[in-house]
Amino acid sequence: VLGLWSVGLQANRALLMLGRERAEGWRAGLVEALGFGFDPTSIADCFLHGLVFFLPVFLTALLVGAFWEILFARYRRRRIDDGLLSVAWLYTLILPASVPLWWAAVGMSVAIILGKGIFGGTGRYLVSPAILGMTFLTFSYPDLLFGAGAWVPVAGFSDPTTIELYTEEGGIPALLSVGYSWTGMFFGDQPGPFGVVSLFGCLLGAAYLILTGSASWRIMLGSVLGLVITTYLFNWVSSADNFIAQIPWHWHVVTGGWAFGTVFLATDPIAASYTNPGRWIYGFVVGCLTIVIRVTNPAYYEGVIFAILLASVFAPVFDYVVVQRNIRRRQRRLAEAP
């Protein structure tokens, strides 16, 4: 809900800045047919404008995913795997509103076929299917993320992300000079994917997942520790003119997709570590690598997707080390017993 409001807010605000009274295309006609407009100060107008972008992409991902799931189920002569809805939902939430529907379909196909289908389905994949689909689109269609106007779905309007602003334009003062505030970004007032931009929304999701036992709080807290400690290290060793390296940790948590990735993607129980010590290490690696990639990568500042991918690859290693350490400890204990 917060993400759709944010997408609509950015679009309606862009229309106002361009001096247009309405958007173009069938989505604008649908918004007006339902009795709404394009007022950036109206929560209802913003939410509905975001919704008409989200629903087509989500339904496309869901239908394409269902096609491949049915195909694999018929081939293996078993029922359709669980988890299709969550994969389609998470995959759509990390896409920009400007994504063409056929690009969304291609990415979802990669997510289901290469992400889980060929490995045997739910419970057998190596990395999160949603992340794999998004990563494929990132490298195959770089304009999806890096093209002009990628994050605000209004033709003729281009607005940099908050990470790009404080990296290229002068740090936190650059954000404040164009009207962004920490509080506004906390609730989701910034360009970005459908459901990633609101730390407040991610905190609500984290509380729900932890209370229901659906996700590991150790992974989330480990990622927080990794982000905070790595940020302090860069603040300490970097020069004053390195704007992104001087960003305080509390600004890092409201910019980009770190919060969403930590809460909803890194906690995938299949791709993450399963031992408690391994979860701490895994989460710490996610938070640490997110900041390392943001600070050191001049081509792609948002590092949480790649951080989770790399941590997922090494998750079995973390668990193996923990298990072997416990085995050796018990062997020593037995050997010392009278």
pLDDT tens-place string over residues 64-95: 999 998 988 888 777 777 788 999 999 999 99
Percentage of the residues of the chain whose pLDDT score is greater than 90: 57
How far apart (Å, rounded) are the C-alpha atoms in residues 286 and 290? Answer: 6
Please report, rounded to a whole number, the percentage of residues in the chain having pLDDT higher than 70. Answer: 97
- pTM, rounded to two decimals: 0.90
Mean pLDDT of all residues in 20-35: 88
Q: What is the pLDDT of residue 125?
A: 79
Give the contacts of 175 (CB within 8 A, at least 6 positions apart).
Answer: 162, 165, 166
Please say whether the dihedral angle defined by the alpha carbons of residues 221, 226, 229 and 232, taken in this order, is positive or negative: negative
Phi-psi region of 156 (alpha: psi -120 to 50; beta: other; left: phi over 0): left
The single residue listed with the structure tokens 């669980």 is 82
